[in-house]
Amino acid sequence: MTGFTRQDAMRCDAEDGLAGLRDRFHLPSGGVYLDGNSLGALPRDTEEAVGGLVRSQWGQDLIASWNRHDWIGAPQRLGGLIAPLVGARDTEVIVCDTTSVNLFKLIAAALAARPGRTTILSETGNFPTDLYMAQGVAGMRGDVALRTVAADDIVDAIDDRTALVLLTHVHYRTSRMLDMRAITRAAHARGALALWDLSHSAGAVPVALDACAVDLAVGCGYKYLNGGPGAPAFLFVADRLQPELRSPLSGWMGHASPFAFDDAYSPADGLSRFLCGTPPMLAMAALESGLAQFAGVDLDALFAKSRALCDLLILLMRERCGDLGFTLVSPRDPLRRGSHVSYAHPQAYPICQALIANGVVGDFRAPDVLRLGLAPLYLRFVDVFDAVETLRRIMTEGEWDRPSYHARARVT
């Protein structure tokens, strides 16, 4: 077979100025991890970051740690670490709750800020929790409904009834990246607000929230930010909107003065009003360690590497697996794509299981998608080559069809 060889991939790695970042992570030896878009890898520093907090802060300083180690400032401090990754000011990002809960808070806040408008507009096939949360808020209010249309029809569907345009920047299944600037502008032209889910974007592709005049955003801490399973999420509210928006979850941590213990709720100035309860400090420590891995990293180079890894995967799939029934469902244009690449195949589930059994960890998204995530902080070009080679062997030898690979697990 001609074309791009393993030696070529090794040469790309030798020339990769970011190659050393891989050493910051624990990765399974002998395997290829292509699921950093679902659960990011474990940074080597994280065990000590969490263990140290447990031993010397919780274990020794106990409750004094809230002040002494600034646990109380963790939501804002970690938000400040995420801000440069998403093109925001550090007063605009805060870490708290889950992405789902943050969606709830921001959807409800946005609807309250657009009284009389009756629609939340989203994409058909958006990530389920985004749609479910919109349905939940709409159901509680009774005067608002969720409307979904195909991604290409979003701009035309925005009208004077639209309160909020709710979209995911990089689609979880296809990796298609929507035009944040154009859609946000179209929302504003009709008086609507725009809320973007950055779960598959933050830390993997360029995001320019302020330059695109975005109003609201949310995102996951456990994917490309490497914060660990179930890590706290983040939310963004543009500075200009913070005084007018209110969280529907008026917990004490969002109060102007939590330790005044007033009976009446009065929201904090600024973004802290979107906090709800006590920060989960063990999880915050793991996320802070994940975020520290971006320190000093040239983000333009990182995002360029993400595009190059995805481009290589698409090239190799065409060269080496082109006749094996895979259909690319991700955009070929790297500027319209996130950091994962997806292929439809009628047997995607057992194929994915066979890959995992052979050390190549991707994931399956129903009904028929094999999803391969290429986290640029720790993946090598040779990993991409080896993954495609493993896939080709599994397919040509028929290994994918073993009965055990067809049994569905709860998490796919």
Catalytic residue numbers read 127, 197, 222-223, 371
* Minimal distance, residue 66 CB to ligand PLP, in Å: 25
Which lies closer to ligand PLP via its Cβ, residue 172 or residue 405?
172
Q: Which is nearer to ligand PLP, 348 or 391 (CB)?
A: 348
By DSSP bridging, strand 234-237 and strand 93-95 are: antiparallel
Residue 62, CA distances (Å) to 5, 49, 54, 55, 382 in order: 56, 16, 9, 10, 47
168 vs 390, beta carbon nearer ligand PLP: 168
Q: CB of residue 15 vs ligand PLP: minimum separation in angstroms?
A: 32
Nearer CB in complex with ligand PLP: 101/321: 101
CB of 33 to ligand PLP, least distance (A): 16
Output the residue with the shortest Cβ distance to ligand PLP: 100
Helices (H) and strands (E) in the chain, counts: 12, 15
Name the minimum Å distance from CB 233 to ligand PLP. 6
Token output for 157: 């569907």
Min CB(126)–ligand PLP separation in Å: 8
* Contact yes or no for 366/342 (Cβ under 8 A): no
Q: Which residues contact 10 (CB under 8 A, 6 or more apart)?
A: 381, 382
**CB crowding 106-120: b at 16 or more within 10 Å, else e:** bbbbbbebbeebbbb
Backbone angles phi, psi at 371, to 5 degrees: -115, 125
Q: Give the alpha-carbon dihedral of 271, 277, 279, 282, to 10 degrees.
A: -150
Strands of 340-344's sheet in order across? 327-328, 340-344, 369-373, 363-365
Contact yes or no for 332/381 (Cβ under 8 A): no
Q: How far is CA 90 from CA 84, 85, 268, in A?
A: 8, 11, 17
- Signed CA dihedral, 338, 27, 40, 284: sign only: negative
Partners of residue 364 on adjacent β-strands: 370
Site residues, ligand PLP (CB under 6 A): 98-100, 127, 129-130, 168, 172, 197, 199-200, 220, 233
Least Å from the CB of residue 130 to ligand PLP: 6
Least separation in angstroms between CB 376 and ligand PLP? 18
Cα distance between residue 346 and residue 60, in whole Å: 56
Residue 221 or 267: the one with the smaller Cβ distance to ligand PLP is: 221
For residue 19, give every residue at least 6 positions away whose Cβ sits within 8 Å of its Cβ, in sequence order, or none: 13, 380
